[in-house]
Amino acid sequence: NAGVMQNPRHLVRRRGQEARLRCSPMKGHSHVYWYRQLPEEGLKFMVYLQKENIIDESGMPKERFSAEFPKEGPSILRIQQVVRGDSAAYFCASSPGKGADEQFFGPGTRLTVL
Amino acid sequence: AQSVTQLGSHVSVSEGALVLLRCNYSSSVPPYLFWYVQYPNQGLQLLLKYTTGATLVKGINGFEAEFKKSETSFHLTKPSAHMSDAAEYFCAVSRGNDMRFGAGTRLTVKP
């Protein structure tokens, strides 16, 4: 049973470009979470999604950031018009939902904005 | 609302010494508590978790943690540190699907 998969593992973008980060949850998991980790800081919750629905996006910046988890395919975190401050590691986690407690993490995508 | 405070962003111990990483939580409902470990350039791996039942929880790699409701604490311990324990450790609190992480504690193990 493959774990949570994220790609790409490393992404370099110039200011103003778009970044697309992908997350495939563990098999059987219908809940996906995105977190951002800035250098020397902890994990900050961004958004929680279930299939085709955003449940909680309270941690996501109102502008330039969006997330989706379509019926088919991976969850996508999209950052438009990236700025240097977006440089961070972005982690995806999944859980089976239905009151489950533990979240399983992917290896992360390290975004560098030049 | 739930939150976690990890006391000490950096902890350094000698190999073979006791490891103690501190975590205090705030929760309006009975919490689920977790410790995760992150090795360089990797994702988070679950060390142990407390949901209900026994308050002393044993995890992987010889780590354990004790849930103390009266102190709202969930400190992580290991009797004897190993060089391979050097990593970043995160305490987290959740209820349902809402998980909140502490800022992390970086553990350094000196030979």
- Partner A contacted by B98 (CB < 8 A): yes
> Which member of A33, A42, A107 has the closest CB to residue B43?
A107
Q: What span, in angstroms and rounded, lies between the C-alpha atoms of A112 and B21?
A: 31
Closest-approach residue (CA) in chain B for A56: B98
pLDDT at position B42 is 85
Inter-chain contacts counted by CB atoms under 8 A, chains A and B: 54
**pLDDT number for residue B2:** 80
Average pLDDT of chain B is 92
Q: Does B34 touch chain A (CB under 8 A)?
A: yes
Average pLDDT over residues B91-99: 82
Residue A99 pLDDT: 59
Q: How much is the pLDDT for A61?
A: 93
Percentage of chain B beyond pLDDT 90 is 74
Query: For chain B, what percentages of helix, strand and coil (3-state, to nearest 5) are there?
Result: 5, 60, 35
Closest CA to B71 of B7, B26, B9, B6: B26
Question: How far apart are the C-alpha atoms of B75 and B106, rounded to whole Å?
Answer: 15
* B99–A contact, CB cutoff 8 A: yes
Report the pLDDT averaged over residues B48-62.
92
Q: Which pLDDT value is given to residue B30?
A: 80
- Position B96 scores a pLDDT of 67
The per-residue pLDDT for A4 is 94
- pLDDT of A84 reads 95
Quick one: tokens of B62?
Answer: 């010889």
Q: Which two tokens stand for residue A22?
A: 């992908």
pLDDT at res. A28: 87
pLDDT, residue B52, reads: 84
pLDDT for B3: 87
The segments of chain A whose pLDDT lies below 70 read 1, 98-100
The DSSP bridge pattern shows strands A31-37 and B64-68 to be unpaired
How far is the C-alpha of B62 from the C-alpha of B56, rounded, in Å? 13
- Confidence at residue A1, expressed as pLDDT on a 0 to 100 scale: 54
